[in-house]
Structure 1
Amino acid sequence: MLWPYYAYTFRFDPEQPLQDFVDKNPSETMDVMHRALALRIKTDMANNWRIIQRLRMALQLALFLLLLELLAWLLAITRV
């Protein structure tokens, strides 16, 4: 019913925090790194939630249309 969708974000590239915190500014504290990683996870969660909501709505619509089709088939068969 649905085309596969692969734009979910569940994790990030480990090289990115290394470049951001170790290579660019090695004096950053762990608190700053933890805060940045927590904000990144929160952003990913928000993006995934929008995608999942769209998929859920599409599945609900597909189920409704399937039930209408089944009802139409049942009515067509009983009138024969």
Structure 2
Amino acid sequence: MRTALRKIGNSVGMIVPASILGEIGTTAGATLDLRVEDGKIIATPVAGVHAGWAAVAATLADQTADDADAWQGFANEDDAALTW
């Protein structure tokens, strides 16, 4: 497949067909890492900054829950005056 380089402001851009983006598992607007190897431009999708955040958040939530339980045994100075 061929594409043309196009002037975009002070830069040059290239139209990448959606089928090619699909083959590398990305879409328009994604960030790519560019490098040159043997005179060829290699474009590699950059994993999102938030990749894996859900697993980390779940681990932190578990740790926080354990910490919260530990505080249950500590009384506040005015607890006797509170009505629940």
TM-score bracket, shorter-length normalisation:
0.3 to 0.5
More strand by share: 2
More helix by share: 1
TM-score of the two chains, using structure 1 as the length reference: 0.41
Task: Choose between structure 1 and 2 for higher RCO, CA contacts under 8 A separated by at least 6 residues.
Answer: 1
